[in-house]
Amino acid sequence: MEYRTLGNTDLQLSAITYGAFAIGGNMWGGNEKQDSIASVKASIDNGVTTIDTAPFYGFGLSEELIGEAIKGYDRSRIQLLTKFGLVWDGSNQGKGDYFFDAEEDGKKIPIYKYASKSNVIKEAEESLKRLGTDYIDLLQIHWPDSTTPIHETMEALEQLIQQGKVRAAGVSNYSLAQVQEARQTIHIASNQVAYSMLNRSIEKDLVPYATDNQLGIIAYSPMERGLLTGKYFQDNKLKDNDHRNGYFQQFNLEKVQAFLDAITPMAKDKNASLSQLVLRWTTLQPGISVVLTGARNAEQAVQNARTMDIQLSDGELGFIEQELARL
């Protein structure tokens, strides 16, 4: 495994970082508790020491599973990254930005983006309890909240850092302008954003800024929620409550399948899966600090960790770029 310094901090994160959205179950067709816990343990045992989660993932369940999974490990060897700012329990009393309706047990649950100072402090305390720890390595706002001044949210993060409950502050899904505004209050370490072979929009402005200003970029959805594994084209049956039924329709699926067919021989030549090849490409892109990838069981976790064993030459990277240009 390769470990990388995040932005302007002393945090050393594993280049492949465990993304814990799916083990929360909601929007992913459910989960299996023991498999989820085993996937976290297998990740740590194979060098993936950084775990990224959020209260929204399973309405607290993802954080609870992680807290259970890391018991018995040396906490100093593990980096816990979590978030705040998506409220589903009505505690925001109607304040904040309405986001969307999630579903749980057939019921619609309104989700709001809400990042007032009091809510940041409240959510941080709840996350610490669920994770079973006394500090969070990186605490990030999950989505921008237009109803709360950015400086107010950042002041709350600064307070938590001063109290020793948080080691570093980050943002997620922030535009470059929002990053720059946040940095007027606190020197945030990172921005967690969507980035993949099919979505490279951050290369226009965020990546150049990040490389020039010690800002880490945490890339999420590098596999486009499983589309780039190729499995969808082999058996495209998803559960009715799986959000990917709609998500995948934004892409030209015929072209995506052709691209995957083109790079499959390279993956086979390296005795790697398509997933591993795609992830390795992502870790090698300029400005990308670490790459998030999920695992539903121990086997998937081990395969994710072994991604960093793959070597890609300049010629091979050039071939991939050539094929991506056809999309």
Q: List, by residue number, the catalytic residues.
A: 57
Alpha-carbon distances of 288 from 43, 80, 177, 230, 298, rounded to whole Å: 20, 19, 19, 23, 26
Strands 290-293 and 16-19, bridge-based pairing: parallel
Query: Which residues pair with residue 194 across a beta bridge?
Result: 220
* Dist CA 174 CA 115 (whole Å): 13
Backbone angles phi, psi at 27, to 5 degrees: 75, 0
Whether the Cβ atoms of residue 162 and residue 186 lie closer than 8 Å to each other: no
Cα atoms found within 13 Å of the Cα of residue 120, Cβ hemisphere only: 29
Write the DSSP symbol of residue 239. Answer: -
Of 147, 146, 148, 127, nearest to 138 by C-alpha is 127
Query: Which residues pair with residue 103 across a beta bridge?
Result: 108
**What is the maximum span of the chain, computed from C-alpha positions, in angstroms?**
56
